[in-house]
Amino acid sequence: MGDPAGIGGEVILKSLPDLSKKTIPVIIGDGYVMDVVAKQLFGSNAPCLNNFKGGGLEGADFIDLGLIGEVQFGRSDPKYGSASYQYIIEALKLLFAGEVSAIVTCPINKKSINSAGIKFIGHTELLAHYSGVKDYVMMMANRSMRVSLVTIHIPIKEVPRALSVEKITKTILITHNSLKTYFGLERPHIKVCGLNPHAGEEGIMGDEETMIQEAISIAQSLNANVEGPFPADTLFHRVDCDAYIAMYHDQGLIPVKTIDFARTVNITLGLPFIRTSPGHGTGYDIAGKGIADPSSLLEAYRIAEEMMCINQSI
């Protein structure tokens, strides 16, 4: 369910009628919060009202952790951060026990998580930690474009220092292998951004492109179909590859979200399981108002289901 004070409960309820019937969703959250949201959306005639606390819901299973007895939407609070964390832990228990096949996470609030004493920047780092994985990649994707990031949630001034031949190479190879395993692409085509304007223009505006080129050469030697580095300001105007590699957060997320914000999805590559998430945040400014768009959650579920089916068929 993500952050109880965010739009997670709302987009789940709005999505349920339109989820694929191929799989049975297991919702992990708090019955109290879901009942409050149901009343806001449907009034006293809500078809699902009072079902959550009992764990019953047509077409889905619901696990009520019973951690929240009241909720103030749009507000950061340690108890909401702690609840968000416990929902994830419960999902991991089910996953590692073989009872579910993938995790779709609604957004969490980093301040609430950290104020609860949980020292993870976000879902991605938390899931990697409990999976025992050190090498993972954040990919943002929609039906037009996929972009993997070499660095994620760090200040822009730290990006050049955080780049290395090894890190860029791993991002390329994890993306390449995931496109084959989970997207069914036999020989995926990848293009890589430079860091500097005009991709450094032969060292005139920076020399980080030297390490990017070295990483590309290593990946090519390992049979990855990858090209670059290309100037980022011209690379995305025509989608002509299976995935792009961006050096930092906004370099990659601006084009993919501009093309189709509503259906952009966050996919964590490199984990030993499938994890997707809506491409937006907790929506504190609209939480509790009944106006949240469920499109990204629907797309996250669809992609997780698609990845699962492709992986099982390989």
Nearest to 166 by CA among 156, 178, 174: 174
- pLDDT at position 311: 85
- pLDDT at position 314: 54
Range 64-88 average pLDDT: 94
Q: Is the pLDDT of residue 99 over 70?
A: yes
Q: Rounded to two decimals, what is the model's pTM?
A: 0.90
**Tens-place pLDDT, residues 18-51:** 888 889 999 999 999 998 998 888 776 665 544 5
> What's the CATH fold of domain 135-270?
Isopropylmalate Dehydrogenase (3.40.718)
Residue with tokens 């009520």: 64
Collapsing DSSP to helix, strand or coil, 57 comes out as strand
Nearest to 229 by CA among 255, 191, 203, 202: 191
The two structure tokens encoding residue 288: 């509790």
Q: How buried is residue 314: exposed, middle or buried, by Cβ count under 10 Å (0-12/13-18/19+)?
A: exposed
Strand partners, 269: 137
Nearest to 51 by CA among 67, 63, 69, 68: 63
Range 66-92 average pLDDT: 95
Report the distance separating Cα 85 and Cα 112, nearest Å: 10
- pLDDT at position 20: 82
**Start and end residues for every CATH 3.40.718.10 domain found in the chain:** 1-133+272-314, 135-270
CATH node for 1-133+272-314: 3.40.718.10
